[in-house]
Amino acid sequence: MKKVISGIALIAMVCLLGSLSRAEDTANGEKTFKAKCAACHGADAAGKPAMKSPSIKGKTAEEIQKVISSSPKHASLKSLTADQVKELAAYLATLK
């Protein structure tokens, strides 16, 4: 019985750590977004027609990575790391 209880406690802890690190990703992603994307895509990522930039709410890391490596509009973003892109996607997922 003791084993079962400590097993449950372990699982609960792993889940808690997992959700804490996700919250951290989202917070870091928000910072990167405000610093590097908001000027063109708007403070809420809804896009700015005047700049011909679309809404990027809910974009995945793959979509962001593709745009960064292929679109001339995003040439200045090539220095973003894979982790930063992942964090950006975590933040954009909260805006849907």
Q: How far apart are CA 46 and CA 57, in angstroms?
A: 7
- Figure out which of the listed residues 26, 28, 36, 42 binds ligand HEC, where binding follows CB under 6 A: 36
67 binds ligand HEC, rule: CB under 6 A: yes
Q: Treating both helix axes as pointing N-terminal to C-terminal, what angle do 2-36 and 82-93 enclose, rounded to 10 degrees?
A: 100
The burial class, CB within 10 Å (0-12 / 13-18 / 19+), for 26 is: middle
> Which CB sits closer to ligand HEC, 3 or 72?
72
Assigned token pair, 23: 């919250």
41 binds ligand HEC, rule: CB under 6 A: yes
88 binds ligand HEC, rule: CB under 6 A: yes
- Figure out which of the listed residues 29, 30, 37, 90 binds ligand HEC, where binding follows CB under 6 A: 37
- Figure out which of the listed residues 26, 57, 63, 86 binds ligand HEC, where binding follows CB under 6 A: 63
